[in-house]
């Protein structure tokens, strides 16, 4: 009998993330400094850790309700209203396995094969891959440094077709650190409405906004009824390993997402839900402290890049800088490969985040000032020797 392909055509089509390659090499290189990985260097604050551990000690080792613990959903609902003016009752919150699951649920709930998804790029790598896995079509919308990497109504409009179904908004942005102001979001609203798009708003870095004010499309009457908000505890509370996120959405989408979550996941990790409850009740001072520290590091990094003569948009949020390296005459891949090989410094080629990221590189500053200092010394040596 003729052998069938073991791997589905869609899974085979997905390329492995090029970010992984840098993690693997840097992990196996002695004395390597990695400003590659996108996660807080802080350990989860102690009182949050203890709440998670206490829940295990108290025997809370079972599933929770599919949708999440009622007390946690109440806190999430209160938090979203107090912090970002996003008003959804606790019954409209689903607790998920990281923001990642919430993104997956939203895309699976909304998309059919052939639907087009508008993805402003440079952008976090997962959206396009999941869209492709669903048989839908990612449509990059390039965003440029000249516009502070924000999405403009004109560029969005230019990519809309009859098949456009969903727009991804991911601000503060990984990898550029761009944000979208309320005015910028409102300028998109007529285009979104005209094309009848659903908006997936990934707000994982909302708490890490250093300049300007984070605005959620779900807080705007013009966009609320078409917005699925995705967020989580990974970045703001330094809880990446706990795997806890959440989503709020208009009821029809929420119910479809809940069906998928019930079958695919059952419930988010129970100890992590207890830890997240403590994070929301008593963890805001920790968030403020970590944010102040990230801001110091951002300022140090951007000042140093400037001193080295490297152009860089000053990121307003998240914990990444996205310097322009075109003047060195190497591709993003060549620059980062050689920097890693010659100076043992890992940063990520900008094209990993979409084609329009070519000519840039992502530097994550969720690292100690000492490490960032050492890294900048190595970068200086590297460009001197080019």
Ligand X SMILES: Cc1ncc(COP(=O)(O)O)c(C=O)c1O
Q: Is the peptide bond before 175 cis (omega within 30 degrees of 0)?
A: yes
How far apart, in whole angstroms, are the C-alpha atoms of residue 166 and residue 143? 17
- Rounded to a whole number of angstroms, the minimum distance from the CB of residue 36 to ligand X is 12
304 forms part of the interface with ligand X (CB under 6 A): no
Per DSSP, the chain holds a count of helices (H) and strands (E) of 13, 12
What x/- string results for residues 176 through 215 when contact with ligand X is judged by CB under 6 A? Answer: --------------------------x-x-----------
The DSSP element (H or E) to which 165 belongs, if any, is strand 164-170
- Name the nearest CA neighbour of 99 among 42, 143, 141, 39: 39
For ligand X, the binding residue among 122, 177, 232, 317 (CB under 6 A) is 232
Number of residues written out for the chain: 386
Residue 352 CB coordination number (10 Å): 22
- Rounded to a whole number of angstroms, the minimum distance from the CB of residue 216 to ligand X is 14
124 forms part of the interface with ligand X (CB under 6 A): yes
- Rounded to a whole number of angstroms, the minimum distance from the CB of residue 242 to ligand X is 9
How far apart, in whole angstroms, are the C-alpha atoms of residue 254 and residue 260? 10
Task: Point out which span in 94-102, 107-115, 286-294, 357-365 binds ligand X (CB under 6 A).
Answer: 94-102
**Are residues 151 and 120 in contact, defined by beta-carbon separation less than 8 angstroms?**
yes
219 forms part of the interface with ligand X (CB under 6 A): no
- Rounded to a whole number of angstroms, the minimum distance from the CB of residue 96 to ligand X is 8
For residue 382, give the 3-state DSSP assignment: helix
Instruction: Specify the residue, 207 or 304, whose C-beta has the smaller distance to ligand X.
Output: 207
Radius of gyration of the chain (CA): 21
Instruction: Specify the residue, 15 or 162, whose C-beta has the smaller distance to ligand X.
Output: 15
- Rounded to a whole number of angstroms, the minimum distance from the CB of residue 175 to ligand X is 8
278 forms part of the interface with ligand X (CB under 6 A): no
For ligand X, the binding residue among 45, 99, 315, 350 (CB under 6 A) is 99
Task: Point out which span in 49-57, 95-103, 219-227, 342-350 binds ligand X (CB under 6 A).
Answer: 95-103
- Rounded to a whole number of angstroms, the minimum distance from the CB of residue 353 to ligand X is 10
DSSP percent split of the chain into helix, strand, coil, nearest 5: 50, 15, 40
Q: How many residues of this chain interact with ligand X, rule: CB under 6 A?
A: 13
Instruction: Specify the residue, 317 or 359, whose C-beta has the smaller distance to ligand X.
Output: 317
Instruction: Specify the residue, 108 or 304, whose C-beta has the smaller distance to ligand X.
Output: 108
- Rounded to a whole number of angstroms, the minimum distance from the CB of residue 221 to ligand X is 25
DSSP string over 198-223: EEEEE-TTTT-B-SS----GGGSTTT
**Are residues 368 and 357 in contact, defined by beta-carbon separation less than 8 angstroms?**
no
- Rounded to a whole number of angstroms, the minimum distance from the CB of residue 31 to ligand X is 26
Instruction: Specify the residue, 232 or 304, whose C-beta has the smaller distance to ligand X.
Output: 232
The dihedral region occupied by 33, where left means phi > 0, alpha psi between -120 and 50, and beta the remainder, is: beta
Instruction: Specify the residue, 89 or 241, whose C-beta has the smaller distance to ligand X.
Output: 241
Instruction: Specify the residue, 38 or 120, whose C-beta has the smaller distance to ligand X.
Output: 38
Distance of alpha carbon 284 from the chain centroid: 20
Binding residues for ligand X restricted to 7-66, rule: CB under 6 A: 38
What separation in angstroms does the CA of 104 have from each of 16, 79, 270, 377? 17, 23, 20, 40
For ligand X, the binding residue among 170, 201, 270, 351 (CB under 6 A) is 170
**Are residues 219 and 201 in contact, defined by beta-carbon separation less than 8 angstroms?**
no
Residue nearest to ligand X (CB): 98
**Are residues 332 and 353 in contact, defined by beta-carbon separation less than 8 angstroms?**
no
> Residue 346 gets which letter from DSSP?
E
* Interface with ligand X (CB under 6 A): 38, 98-100, 124, 170, 174, 202, 204, 232, 234, 240, 245
């Amino acid at each position: 009998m003729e052998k069938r392909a073991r791997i589905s055509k869609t899974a085979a089509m997905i390329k492995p993330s090029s970010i992984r390659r840098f993690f693997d090499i840097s992990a196996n290189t002695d004395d390597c400094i990695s400003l590659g990985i996108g996660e807080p260097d802080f350990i989860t604050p102690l009182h949050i850790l203890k709440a998670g551990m206490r829940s295990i000690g108290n025997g809370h080792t079972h599933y929770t309700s599919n949708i999440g613990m009622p007390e946690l959903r109440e806190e999430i609902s209160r938090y979203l209203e107090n912090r970002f003016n996003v008003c959804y009752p606790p019954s409209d919150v689903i607790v998920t396995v990281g923001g990642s699951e919430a993104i997956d649920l939203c895309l699976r709930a909304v998309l059919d094969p052939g639907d087009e998804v508008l993805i402003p790029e440079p952008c976090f790598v997962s959206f396009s891959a999941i869209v492709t896995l669903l048989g839908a079509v990612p449509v990059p919308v390039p965003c440029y440094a000249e516009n502070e990497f924000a999405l403009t109504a004109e560029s969005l409009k230019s990519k809309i077709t009859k098949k456009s179904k969903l727009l991804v908004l991911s601000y503060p942005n990984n990898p550029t650190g761009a944000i979208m102001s309320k005015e910028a979001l409102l300028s998109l609203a007529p285009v979104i409405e005209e094309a009848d798009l659903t908006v997936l708003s990934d707000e994982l870095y909302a708490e890490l906004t250093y300049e300007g004010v984070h605005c959620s499309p779900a807080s705007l009457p013009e966009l609320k009824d078409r917005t699925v908000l995705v967020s989580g505890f990974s970045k703001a509370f330094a809880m990446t390993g706990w795997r806890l996120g959440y989503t709020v959405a208009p009821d029809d989408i929420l119910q479809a997402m809940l069906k998928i979550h019930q079958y695919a996941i059952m419930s988010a990790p129970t100890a992590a839900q207890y830890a997240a409850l403590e994070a929301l009740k008593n963890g805001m001072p920790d968030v403020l402290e970590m944010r102040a520290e990230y801001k110091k590091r951002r300022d140090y990094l951007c000042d140093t890049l400037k001193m080295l003569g490297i152009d860089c948009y000053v990121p307003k949020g998240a914990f990444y800088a996205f310097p322009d390296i075109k003047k060195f005459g190497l591709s993003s891949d060549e620059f980062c490969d050689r920097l890693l090989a010659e100076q043992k410094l890992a940063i990520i080629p900008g094209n990993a985040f979409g084609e329009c990221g070519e000519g840039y590189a992502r530097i994550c500053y969720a690292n100690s000032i000492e490490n960032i200092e050492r890294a900048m010394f190595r970068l200086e040596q590297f460009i001197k020797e080019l």
